[in-house]
């Protein structure tokens, strides 16, 4: 992993933010790309935001990217490009919580702060046989105290990296390598058969299903897009005209034409393409999307809030993964534009 043994706090921070909610295999590609385009925090701070979002495209959880940009600007403009070298100052930066601050402080500056990520929670819970939930106030406080007590003051960075790696490679969430684990003789969960029961979580994630219909409205070799500003998923990314419903829509030709007339306020148009449903599973919701390409003879006055861009410029903008998937699978292969 390119960030292993890294001492540059900027690159450590970058890797930690990217790896939140992201598999290592996927995150590595993005990390290398970001380091290549933005070798220093000043490079990131001075980059056009749209370029940063475009490079982030496909990683999801775009609040991370917004915070990345905001913090880079603070470090560059207010701290003269020098990353803070103490825990509290690091933790005060936007998008950096106790875990990330501990990782940066220990890896970059060898400060004695214990990291407490999912791997560490799992190891401590299994090793000590702890049934206290890891996601409530009492549990978080207790696990933090244990993690701090175990931390060797002289080599905190090495220890933090080791315990995180141990959780990622040996004490895995599923099918942990207990038989070959050097700690199995002292592990309470292994001894009593609790491996699959620990750690305990108190909260059950409530998932919802959403149904979206996107209208790709084109006119004179141009297409309408807009930037999302609502505090929902995909904030700051671009999208087409969208209609969200409580359930799946099955359009007859007449019904579809009526919807288009209502949404775009035009009488004359051509429906060129209707896609199958494309599904994307996020952590907390399932997205079901259908894409419909509509061709107009002249611009629609009702779409003043949208940008009308050249279709050839479409790929310069950062879109959600769901839309990118549609464009790659349908528009490019089938030459729909």
**Is 239 annotated as catalytic?**
no
Strand, helix or coil for residue 206: coil
In a shared domain, residues 32 and 143: yes
Mean pLDDT of 217-246: 89
The alpha-helical segments, DSSP class H, found in the chain are 9-19, 24-37, 41-46, 49-56, 63-78, 87-91, 98-109, 118-128, 137-150, 156-169, 188-192, 253-264, 321-326, 333-334
Which pair of tokens denotes residue 28? 């590595």
In a shared domain, residues 155 and 37: yes
In a shared domain, residues 171 and 222: no
CATH number, domain containing residue 136: 1.10.340.30
In a shared domain, residues 187 and 213: no
Task: Give domain status of residue 3, yes or no.
Answer: no
Set 6, 16, 253, 328: catalytic member: 16
pLDDT above 80: residue 337: no
* pLDDT single digits (tens) 255-267: 999 999 988 999 8
**65/55 Cα distance (integer angstroms):** 10
| pLDDT range class, residue 72, cuts 50, 70, 90 | very high
CA distances from 171 to 135, 157, 167, 199 (A): 19, 20, 5, 12
Quick one: pLDDT at residue 24? 83
Are 289 and 321 contacting, i.e. CB atoms less than 8 angstroms apart? Answer: no
Quick one: pLDDT at residue 171? 97
In a shared domain, residues 230 and 164: no
What is the chain's length?
Answer: 337
Quick one: pLDDT at residue 335? 59
> Which of 174, 197, 220 lies at the terminal end of a domain, its last residue?
197
In a shared domain, residues 188 and 235: no
In a shared domain, residues 61 and 174: yes
Domain that holds residue 232: 208-334
Are 240 and 224 contacting, i.e. CB atoms less than 8 angstroms apart? Answer: yes
* pLDDT single digits (tens) 104-124: 999 999 999 999 999 999 999
CA distances from 314 to 1, 57, 97, 212, 267 (A): 33, 14, 36, 20, 26
Torsion of CA 281, 285, 286, 291, to 10 degrees: -100
pLDDT above 80: residue 133: yes
| pLDDT range class, residue 22, cuts 50, 70, 90 | confident
Give the chain's domain count.
Answer: 2
What's the per-residue H, E or C state across 284-330?
CEEEEEEEEEEEECCCCHHHCCCEEEEHHHHHHCCCCHHHHHHHHHH
- Comparing C-alpha atoms, which of 167, 200, 171, 165 is closest to residue 184? 171
In a shared domain, residues 116 and 39: yes
> Which of 167, 197, 227 lies at the terminal end of a domain, its last residue?
197
pLDDT above 90: residue 38: yes
In a shared domain, residues 144 and 234: no
Which pair of tokens denotes residue 126? 């299994």
Task: Give domain status of residue 168, yes or no.
Answer: yes
Task: Give domain status of residue 267, yes or no.
Answer: yes
What 162-171 contacts at long range (C-beta under 8 Å, 24+ apart), as own/partner pairs, is 163/115, 163/119, 163/120, 163/123, 164/115, 164/117, 164/119, 164/120, 166/119, 166/123, 167/117, 167/118, 167/119, 167/120, 167/122, 167/123, 168/24, 168/119, 171/119, 171/122, 171/123, 171/126
Task: Give domain status of residue 89, yes or no.
Answer: yes
CATH number, domain containing residue 263: 3.90.79.10
């Amino acid at each position: 992993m390119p960030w292993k043994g890294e001492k540059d706090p900027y690159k450590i921070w970058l890797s930690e933010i990217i790896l939140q909610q992201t598999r290592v295999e996927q995150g590595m590609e993005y990390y290398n790309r970001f380091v290549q385009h933005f070798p220093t925090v000043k490079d990131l701070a001075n980059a056009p935001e749209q370029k940063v979002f475009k490079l982030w495209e496909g990683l999801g959880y775009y609040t991370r990217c917004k915070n990345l940009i905001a913090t880079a600007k603070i470090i560059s403009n207010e701290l003269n490009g020098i990353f803070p070298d103490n825990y509290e100052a690091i933790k005060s930066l936007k998008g950096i919580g106790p875990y990330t601050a501990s990782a940066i402080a220990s890896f970059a500056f060898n400060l004695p702060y214990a990291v407490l990520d999912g791997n560490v929670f799992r190891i401590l819970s299994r090793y000590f046989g702890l049934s206290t939930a890891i996601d409530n106030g009492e549990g978080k406080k207790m696990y933090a105290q244990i993690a701090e007590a175990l931390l060797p003051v002289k080599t905190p960075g090495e220890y933090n990296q080791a315990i995180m790696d141990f959780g990622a490679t040996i004490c895995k969430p599923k099918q942990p390598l207990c038989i070959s684990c050097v700690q199995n003789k002292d592990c309470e969960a292994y001894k009593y058969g609790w491996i699959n029961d620990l750690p305990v979580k108190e909260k059950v994630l409530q998932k919802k299903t959403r149904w979206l219909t996107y209208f790709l409205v084109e006119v004179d070799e141009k297409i309408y897009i807009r930037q999302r500003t609502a505090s929902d998923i995909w904030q700051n990314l671009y999208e087409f005209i969208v209609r969200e419903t409580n359930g799946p829509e099955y359009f007859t030709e007449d019904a579809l034409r009526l919807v288009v007339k209502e949404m775009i306020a035009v009488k004359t148009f051509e429906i060129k393409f209707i896609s199958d449903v494309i599904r994307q599973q996020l952590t907390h919701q399932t997205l079901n999307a259908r894409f419909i390409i509509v061709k107009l003879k002249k611009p629609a006055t009702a779409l003043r809030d949208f940008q009308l861009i050249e279709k050839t410029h479409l790929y310069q903008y950062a879109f959600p993964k769901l839309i990118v998937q549609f464009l790659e699978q349908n528009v490019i292969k089938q030459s729909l534009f």
